[in-house]
Amino acid sequence: MPAIWTAPRDWKAGEIVTPALMNAHVRDNISWLKTPTSGFKLVSSDIATTSTSFVDITGASVSITTNGGNVLCMFTACYTASTSLTLQIRFTQDGSPTVQLAQLTNPTTTGQMLSCFWLLQPAAGAHTFTVQHKAAIETGWSPA
């Protein structure tokens, strides 16, 4: 049975409580609260870019339907570069870029770890969240 939210009813003094009322207004709502919307993608192949503009990371996109609550986006990867560069990561929501979240400078050591976390509260509805990256020789980058 899928979890479905039912707007809580107003209970009245002397009202006879039936199993159907309790199931719809208590059990089902507790089930709904315990099963939040979620999405997950694992990109297990190597990813490469030489782009100096942000490009989508192939396969690093999740579409979910939210109920208006918080959404936590997370991204973790190990990076290696053959030359000195600055790697930047950001998320997009429904194709619109968000603030740049992470920068890794000179990742020439094999397997440097990079993690990003983003908490937002989009309006209820269908949304697509995508991770983008770019490689650039830059200085003075700021996360704003």
**Looking at the domain assignment, is residue 40 inside a domain?**
no
- Per the structure, the complete domain to which residue 86 belongs is given by 55-136
DSSP state of 123: P
Q: For residue 117, give the CATH number of its domain.
A: 2.60.120.40
For the chain, the domain total comes to: 1
* Widest pairwise Cα distance in the chain: 76
**Looking at the domain assignment, is residue 10 inside a domain?**
no
DSSP state of 111: T
How much is the pTM?
A: 0.71
**Looking at the domain assignment, is residue 119 inside a domain?**
yes
**Looking at the domain assignment, is residue 44 inside a domain?**
no
What are the CA-CA distances from residue 15 to residues 10, 26, 29, 132 (Å)?
10, 16, 20, 56
Residue-wise pLDDT tens for the chain (144 aa)? 556 778 888 889 999 999 998 888 888 888 888 777 788 788 878 888 888 889 999 999 999 988 778 888 888 888 777 667 778 888 999 999 877 677 777 656 666 778 888 888 888 899 999 999 888 765 444 443
**Looking at the domain assignment, is residue 63 inside a domain?**
yes
